[in-house]
Structure 1
Amino acid sequence: MNLEQRIVFIKENLLDKGGYTIAAKECLGIIEHALRQLLLRHLAVLPSAVQQRIQQEAQKTAKGSRASGIEDFTMGQLLGLIRTCDFINEWGKVTGRDLINIRMINLDSLSDIRNPLIHNGAEADSSQAFFLFSCVRLLLENFGIESLEGGAEALPDLATLPVLDNPYQGLAAFQEENAQFFCGRSAEIADLQQLVSDRAFVAVLGNSGSGKSSLVFAGLVPALKQAGGWLVMACRPLDQPLYQLAVALMDGLYQSEVNEVARLAEAKALAKSFAAQDLTLDMVIQRIASKYRGRVLLVLDQFEELYTLNDAKTQQQFLALLLPFLAQQAAALTVTVLVTLRADFLGAALADAAFAAWFDGYRNKMLGNLNAAGLQDAVTVPAQKLGVGFESGLPERIVRDVGTESGSLPLLQFALHQLWGLRQGQQLTHANYEALGTVTAALANYAEVVYGRFSAEGQAQCRYVLVQLVRPGLGTADTRRVVAWSRFSLAQQTVLQQLAGARLVVLGRDVESGQEMVEVVHEALIYGWVRLREWMAADREFRLWQEGLWRYLADGVLLSGTPLSVAESFLAERSDFLAESERDFIVRSVAERDRALAEQARQRRVWATFVMAFFVVAVGLSGVAWWFWGESVEKAEEAKRHETESQKNLAQSKENLTTSIRNQSLMLY
């Protein structure tokens, strides 16, 4: 078995089946050999000064130990040498590569895991095993499988190891293939089966973590198929509800193998026809029902996503397709629509009066907490089916720890999933349960361990990606978001790969675009991990603003006014928390505002110039007018003086004439 085959075997036959201790030891053997080979084989390509420093450190390390050189060093010695000489970065400089995904890892964690396992006989939990496996993959991806091949033959043969199954699902919902391990809900399954047989619409309502999806897919669906005569189609709304519905309907329209590309193309065309109202839901499903000649169940799982991931227009568009179909099915009863909905989003559903009419007491299945008997079955029966028992009193202790707190089922399943990996032989023990931190603390402890295995740089990126995967609630609890993988940087994608390896996030693919998507594995992580809750509390204002920013981005409307001022503030304070597309959008908005302000300033300058010119002209004209007025006044005064003098002269002439006449008269006498 070569190294590549061995790695596949470790993943499929050990990790996926709960053999964490064996998997961890095998990974440690590969890693130790890999580190040794990296130092020996790649030393010659490094600069001479670095080579000399490594050799000097190797000599220091060998002194006082049983090792004579790198060939005999333990993992701790190898890691110390690599860290002291900054080997990873030096090798990256020579090869022109930025080994950012290696930088994200806290390599000291390797020794922390190895020593108890190898020297003290400790058991490995799932977080340790998956972390070690991810380190193996990183070494292969960055340094090449040829470089590490030589150590594979030194490892023991794994072919005779037993195949191990873990009957507990952790944070994942139970699916149809897990039905034999879905226990404690027999009465609810029977009730729900009767409801879907008698109703055109059924709503399964419950708090987050109450097991709604598991009840439907691991309880109801197997029961319907066992009874016979049912075709089941299912989807989640996500952020494209019409398209997701169209993809689900393809399974009914084509019940044989069809080219995947052709199927996706037809789903896209069907979604467009729904949006344009060229086709109704009744037209499509009746065709499916006629081909199948039986009852049809259409499951709309996690229906709250219609409200959390879509705008009001999309919500109304989807309901406009669904409601007429329900009205027709009320009498026909060939098709039943079943929705699973978080109880805190019932108000959003009831806001539409026509849709609210379907949520009466006869169509709802209210899903509460498991009772004590149901919890006991959920704890004990799955293990018993595989021949594994519990130490006396442990099941009762676990049931007491679960208590009556809402949303505790995912935490229970997670603790049991972890406990299974720590079992000793065919028994689950109190000691191992206490090591996990019991039901209430197991998830938080596990998440803390995973977080602690990142470097300081990796922890900063871990906070960023997890906060981005949570949608802050307004009057409701926070929910998970499905985000495109391409939105994250290379460093952030590296962290996400580690979180996916630890099963804290889930990777998937959008069926329409083909884009890889990522989401938190379960909302129990959001409310069950204190550190994540604290991050959300600290970043809530920013995340609420960011949600609004995405609406502007989607509409293509640049920011202005107060929204732009707030965006500039967050750009200055939280630039590292913004994606490149978001930063670019804010920068373009600022540029447009500055352009508009510059244009306004230019127009003001033009207007000011015009006013000034007008004023100058006006002043000039007024000066001319004043001069003419002054001239006219002066001429008028001069004319008046002339007139006065003329009058004086005339009066003097009259007086002289009168005197002359009088004198002449006297002379005559």
Structure 2
Amino acid sequence: MARVFISHSSRDREQAEEIFAWLRAQGFEQGFLDIDKHQGIPPGERWEQKLYDELDRAQAMILVLTRNWFDSKWCFAEFAQARSRGKAIFPLICAPDGDQFVGDDLQKLNLVRDKQGGLERLARRLTEVALMGQGGFDFPPGRAPYPGFLSFDEDDAAIYFGRDDDVRRLIQRADSRRIEGGRRCIFVLGESGTGKSSLLRAGLIPRLRKAKREWVVLSAFRPEDDPFAGLSRSLKAAGVDIDAGALPDTDPRTIADALAEAHDAHHAGVLVAVDQAEELFTRSAAERREAFLAYLSRLLGPGLPFVVVVTLRSDHFGEVQKAAGLDSEFEEFSLRPMPVERIGDIVRGPARVAGLDVEDGLVARIASDARSTDALPLVAFALRRIYDQFGDDGRLRLNEYESLRDAAAGLSPLETLVRDTAADVIARAKPTPAELAALREAFVPGMVRINDEGGFVRQAARWDEVPEESKRLLSALAGPSARLLVVREHEGTREVEVAHEALFRVWPLLVGWLEEEREFLIGRNRLERALADWQALPESERDKGLISGILLERAKNWLALHPGRFDAAETDFIEASERADAERKREAEAQRQALEAAKLRQAETERDAAQRVQRRTRMAAAILGLVALVAIGAGILAFRAEQRATAEADRANAEAVRANAEAERANAEADRANANLTIARDTVYNVARDVAQGVRDIQGMRIENLRAILQRVETAIADLLKAAPDDEQVLRGRATTLTLFSDTYLAAGDTAAAQAGLDEALTIRRRLLAAHPDDLKLMSDLSLTLNREGDIKVRTGDLPAALTFYREALDLARAVQAARPDDPDAQADVWISLIKIGDVLTPTGQAAEGLALYEEALGIVRGLAAAEPENNEWLRRVGQTLSAVGDAKRRAGDLAGMMAAYEESLSLVRQLAERDPTNAPYRRDMIVALQRIGDQKLLAGDTAEAVKLFDEALAIARELAASDPGNKSYQSDLAIAIEKTADAALAEGDVAAATQLYDEQLGIARGLAESDPDNADWQRGLSVALERVGDAKAKAGDSAGALVVFEESLVINRKLAESDPQNLDWQRDLMIILNRVGGMRLQNYDFENSVAAYEEGLSVARTLLAAEPDSVERQTDLIMSIAQTQIMVLDPVRKRALIEEALAMLDKLQAAGQLSMAMLPLRMMLNQSLSELPPE
């Protein structure tokens, strides 16, 4: 029977006790009356918490309405909480002045006028509530009590057990949205096999159908190829016949009115139930999906009665969040896998309904074999098979179950049953090789696809599209002796589908096929996405969307080997891609041949020119020799002969002069070419040096000026590379230019362009160093590039990759320093790598190693600064290193050492800023140093000093941001500075000023995050800004608004934490936001999800402490998380254990002298909570 809470004034004890006695006489023995000596609040118990707990457990509330009830604030609070949670409420007028306003939608029962009739109506309504909340459904005769792999359906409501709490939560959530509005689209999220469909079909829908005055319930439908067809069928079953094609143009008000008329329920809500909505993204065409989601949004418009409940695999929720069409706000209802300890319920409950006797040992053994929630689908299948095989005698025994175990193979009966059932079906069918091959084709790709995580998931295949030779085996696998497949038919379309994805893990034949086809299934997914993108392109741009490379090669092979696996659109797409690829190859070959011909012509021309010069040079030498001979024999020859020789000599001399001139011109051309190459090299290097000078402090230079300078380099080096593609000096210049471009792109927020430039620079420098392994300059350059690569990996959250780059850079830097021990630049390179590695290690639980690296780096730069006291750069690096040392000491709990390092750093930064007041990097260092100390002052309660420091930092940040609005680093600095100032304002109680500042911070943070979604720092900045806005809203009393922004922040923090589980800072961010979300969910009366958030936050806190067991910060975080979680814990044993754990940790901190004064009130609260617990 229903559990009933009686709300009454303490002055109306007699009336309350009379109603309570009447309830018990009617069989409602689980009621709650606070003054009842048996079931009420015992002396010494915390009465407020007890009332809260009992109200949460109740299904219905009776209001004992009198003048005293209306005068009681507590009574009205009880009523408000019950209403917000969707409880059934029955106002009883028990006194003449009790007929006042208490909710105009609630039917009052006047016991003053007609006590007997009112109580009879109350009994009927409470019985309806009992039926709705706890079952009371008919069980069709002859129906099996266990459905096997199949989901529970509406007809299975009587045997649906193990999810009572989830059913109650979902009903209350739906009722709350029906009554009070809000987010009327509820997504039931869970992994495959968690029972989402069963919860909807056998849990929610049958119970809401019984509440005919409050609900009109449409049958659940799957989207399949056309979600409008499913909605049309559900409407038709409910008495409203609208064709699927006409639905998108149908006014939702028309549907609501027709349903209200058909069911004579003009004030009822309408439940629209969409099951397995992932089919919107795996089966429905994009335009149909978008239209359907848009129509759901119309159904959820103002003034309409619709509440939409959607079941969805968790791995598709990201697609929902990005999907076009769904404009209405929605909320999540997380469904966790059914705990193994509930196996007793899911075995005994249906057996009790069907009149079966289940041996206790059988339940225990099944629970033992089902060691994880992943095995529960196998349990369902096994129960059905055991019932079919052994249930005729009305008993299910342990020995029957054990007879199915395959001990030799190490398989439990759960696994053996599925394996053997499939194997028996195949063996009895005696298939031919052709049939087995066809069966494989039916599964792949028809009934199986692979998700983004690499897991195999089911999908329905059209019966007329599977190979004809497979249908005999498919029918056998779907037959009554197996039920491993499901064959369904509606509206003339027949489909076949795997009953449950557990089959993909335990049927060896299928497992082998799937592993062999994994590469194909992955490629098929990529092909489908590429085809969808290609189809979405305008006709003029479609050539750009065709596939190429390895995917095209594989697709061509698959199409040749398995043409039946591809439809006409896919085949056309592959063939179009193949034609385009062939055309590209022909063009490339033509270009290659043309280039070869041009090179050949150029070589021939150069050879001809060289031969001409060579011939003329030889001719000149011969003629000059002839002239000498003529001169020697001049006295012997006759006058006439002398005249002829003289003329010949003149001609020969002229020819020699011309030949020499030609040779000199050729030599001059070569000299000019060499001179031009040298000049070009020098030009590139000079410009590169100019750029290097400008970007040494890139944040201080305007980005448009950087781009203008770098354009000069790009133009010069592009021309130079054409002339000398293998010249090493040119390659060095190219690598330098690419590195400089990378810095510019990073400052402008284009991480992808920066990564591309650095990758090419890294390739060039590795190639050069391989050719010259002893070149120290190349080693230093490569170390610089590796550090830059690491920087980008840090920005995108890939810390392991960053650490690999940084360590390689450090090895190179140390090698250079060993070769040049007195070179300051070599020492500086080592310092850079030490700092970068420390920055990765310190937040990932390796603070001790990080501190050691920082202190080594500090020793290096202190030595450099002492040797050159006027060198501002060395002094600046000392300040930066001190800040890093302070951070590491803070993590280690050395607060005194931390503050000493921070203060020395600030002193040095001030000194630098005074030396060069216009230097932007020095001013940015000032911002950071001021904020570090301000944070500690705020934590210590010195708000006035913190405000002073934060205001100074904010003034500097605003000046820098105004000086260069396009510099995103300055914008990021400004957002952080605003946040710090707002934190201080909030600490002083100035909520209005803090809210205004937080809103400004959020606007900047959103702009940065949207400009570069891969930048992890900016995503984290957005999450922090959202938290701060939420804090301000919470402090202003807007708990609903605070929860919205906290939930958005949680999504970002969870994504960051999952992207790099080793980053402890991100894990801590997740813990903090989970606790905030838990608090706000509690304030919004979402008790269950509040508990879930606190428990998850506690789990993260434990993980953090395990990574850094000596960290005071981690211990404090865990204590705070325990303190918050224990408030929600109802089990006194666990509650006591949590409180005692936190108190022990506080004692340990106090003994070590590390307990903050701010923790003392917490200790008092925990001791008070401990004293209120019942004795052990």
Shared fold per TM-score greater than 0.5:
yes
In the alignment, which residue of structure 2 is the partner of 1:288? Answer: 259
The residue type equivalent to 1:408 in the other structure is A
In the alignment, which residue of structure 2 is the partner of 1:394? Answer: 362
CA distance in 1: counterparts of 2:567 and 2:224, whole angstroms: 24
In the alignment, which residue of structure 2 is the partner of 1:439? Answer: 414
1:193 aligns with 2:161: no
| Secondary structure, counterpart of 2:193 in structure 1 | coil
Percent of aligned pairs sharing the same letter: 30
Contact 1:281 1:322 in 2 (8 A): no
Contact 2:442 2:467 in 1 (8 A): no
In the alignment, which residue of structure 2 is the partner of 1:612? Answer: none
Residue deviations 1:97-118 (CA, integer Å, cap 9, x gap): xxxxxxxxxxxxxxxxxxxxxx
CA drift of 1:315 comes to 3.4
Contact 2:357 2:395 in 1 (8 A): yes
The residue type equivalent to 1:483 in the other structure is A
Q: Which has the higher contact order (CA 8 A, sep 6+)?
A: 1
| Secondary structure, counterpart of 1:322 in structure 2 | helix
Cα distance change, pair 339–396 in 1 and its aligned pair in 2 (3 A): same
The residue type equivalent to 1:442 in the other structure is L
Contact 1:500 1:507 in 2 (8 A): yes
CA distance in 2: counterparts of 1:407 and 1:595, whole angstroms: 48
The residue type equivalent to 2:351 in the other structure is A
Residue deviations 1:354-398 (CA, integer Å, cap 9, x gap): 9598444xx5253431462x3212101222333322334111211
| TM superposition score normalised by structure 2 | 0.33
Residue deviations 1:279-320 (CA, integer Å, cap 9, x gap): 344543454345432321110111121122235444333222
CA distance in 2: counterparts of 1:197 and 1:165, whole angstroms: 31
In the alignment, which residue of structure 1 is the partner of 2:237? Answer: 251
1:569 aligns with 2:557: yes
1:228 aligns with 2:212: yes
CA distance in 2: counterparts of 1:317 and 1:334, whole angstroms: 21
CA distance in 2: counterparts of 1:447 and 1:456, whole angstroms: 16
In the alignment, which residue of structure 2 is the partner of 1:378? Answer: 346
1:521 aligns with 2:499: yes
CA drift of 1:345 comes to 2.1
- Among candidates 294, 316, 338, match of residue 320 of structure 1: 294
CA distance in 1: counterparts of 2:164 and 2:383, whole angstroms: 20
CA distance in 1: counterparts of 2:439 and 2:402, whole angstroms: 28
1:421 aligns with 2:396: no
Residue deviations 1:308-361 (CA, integer Å, cap 9, x gap): 223544433322222243242xxx46221111112222222233599598444x
| Secondary structure, counterpart of 1:269 in structure 2 | coil
In the alignment, which residue of structure 2 is the partner of 1:614? Answer: none
CA distance in 1: counterparts of 2:585 and 2:367, whole angstroms: 69
- Among candidates 455, 464, 468, match of residue 431 of structure 2: 455
Q: Which runs of 4+ in 1 moved over 6 A?
A: 551-560, 590-601
CA drift of 1:538 comes to 1.9
1:267 aligns with 2:243: yes
Query: Following superposition of structure 1 onto structure 2, how do residues 68-217 of structure 1 map, counting pairs within 5 Å?
Result: 165-199=143-177, 200-217=184-201
The residue type equivalent to 2:388 in the other structure is G
- Which one is further off, 527-536 or 202-211? 527-536
| Secondary structure, counterpart of 1:369 in structure 2 | coil
In the alignment, which residue of structure 1 is the partner of 2:250? Answer: 279
The residue type equivalent to 1:418 in the other structure is R
CA drift of 1:432 comes to 2.2
Cα distance change, pair 371–571 in 1 and its aligned pair in 2 (3 A): closer
CA distance in 2: counterparts of 1:339 and 1:587, whole angstroms: 36
The residue type equivalent to 1:444 in the other structure is R
CA distance in 1: counterparts of 2:262 and 2:273, whole angstroms: 19
Contact 1:304 1:345 in 2 (8 A): yes
CA distance in 2: counterparts of 1:411 and 1:300, whole angstroms: 25
Residue deviations 1:65-95 (CA, integer Å, cap 9, x gap): xxxxxxxxxxxxxxxxxxxxxxxxxxxxxxx
Contact 1:485 1:517 in 2 (8 A): yes
The residue type equivalent to 1:326 in the other structure is L
Residue deviations 1:444-469 (CA, integer Å, cap 9, x gap): 33223334444351333222212220
CA drift of 1:402 comes to 2.2
1:411 aligns with 2:388: no
Cα distance change, pair 358–533 in 1 and its aligned pair in 2 (3 A): farther
CA drift of 1:473 comes to 0.8
In the alignment, which residue of structure 2 is the partner of 1:304? Answer: 278
Contact 2:378 2:414 in 1 (8 A): yes
Contact 1:298 1:337 in 2 (8 A): yes
Contact 1:189 1:219 in 2 (8 A): yes
| Secondary structure, counterpart of 1:204 in structure 2 | strand
CA distance in 2: counterparts of 1:222 and 1:396, whole angstroms: 31
| Secondary structure, counterpart of 2:245 in structure 1 | helix
Residue deviations 1:598-630 (CA, integer Å, cap 9, x gap): 9999x99xxxxxxxxxxxxxxxxxxxxxxxxxx
CA distance in 2: counterparts of 1:192 and 1:600, whole angstroms: 63
CA distance in 2: counterparts of 1:412 and 1:421, whole angstroms: 14
Contact 1:206 1:367 in 2 (8 A): yes
- Aligned-residue Cα RMSD (Å) equals 3.7
- Which one is further off, 314-323 or 283-292? 283-292
Contact 2:442 2:470 in 1 (8 A): yes
Cα distance change, pair 499–319 in 1 and its aligned pair in 2 (3 A): same
Residue deviations 1:247-290 (CA, integer Å, cap 9, x gap): 32333353xxxxxxxx6xx523324xx1xxx3344543454345
CA distance in 2: counterparts of 1:477 and 1:550, whole angstroms: 17
In the alignment, which residue of structure 2 is the partner of 1:506? Answer: 486
CA drift of 1:211 comes to 1.3
1:489 aligns with 2:467: yes
In the alignment, which residue of structure 2 is the partner of 1:347? Answer: 318
The residue type equivalent to 2:476 in the other structure is Q
Cα distance change, pair 578–176 in 1 and its aligned pair in 2 (3 A): closer
The residue type equivalent to 1:473 in the other structure is N
CA drift of 1:527 comes to 3.9
The residue type equivalent to 2:379 in the other structure is L
In the alignment, which residue of structure 1 is the partner of 2:442? Answer: 465
Residue deviations 1:514-546 (CA, integer Å, cap 9, x gap): 332221122232344354343222212212333
Cα distance change, pair 175–580 in 1 and its aligned pair in 2 (3 A): closer
Cα distance change, pair 226–588 in 1 and its aligned pair in 2 (3 A): same
CA drift of 1:417 comes to 0.3
The residue type equivalent to 1:455 in the other structure is P
Residue deviations 1:582-607 (CA, integer Å, cap 9, x gap): 89758965997799899999x99xxx
Cα distance change, pair 560–381 in 1 and its aligned pair in 2 (3 A): closer
| Secondary structure, counterpart of 2:155 in structure 1 | helix
Residue deviations 1:538-574 (CA, integer Å, cap 9, x gap): 21221233345567888889977556543322234x3
The residue type equivalent to 1:351 in the other structure is K
CA distance in 1: counterparts of 2:570 and 2:278, whole angstroms: 30
The residue type equivalent to 2:236 in the other structure is M
CA distance in 2: counterparts of 1:584 and 1:355, whole angstroms: 32
Contact 1:236 1:244 in 2 (8 A): yes
Contact 1:388 1:428 in 2 (8 A): yes
CA drift of 1:216 comes to 1.7
In the alignment, which residue of structure 2 is the partner of 1:541? Answer: 519
CA distance in 2: counterparts of 1:327 and 1:591, whole angstroms: 48
CA distance in 2: counterparts of 1:561 and 1:548, whole angstroms: 12
For structure 1, list consecutive stretches of 5 or more residues without a partner in the other structure: 1-162, 255-262, 605-669
Cα distance change, pair 589–396 in 1 and its aligned pair in 2 (3 A): same
CA drift of 1:580 comes to 7.9
Contact 2:275 2:312 in 1 (8 A): yes
CA distance in 2: counterparts of 1:184 and 1:596, whole angstroms: 62
| TM superposition score normalised by structure 1 | 0.55
Corresponding pairs, count: 417
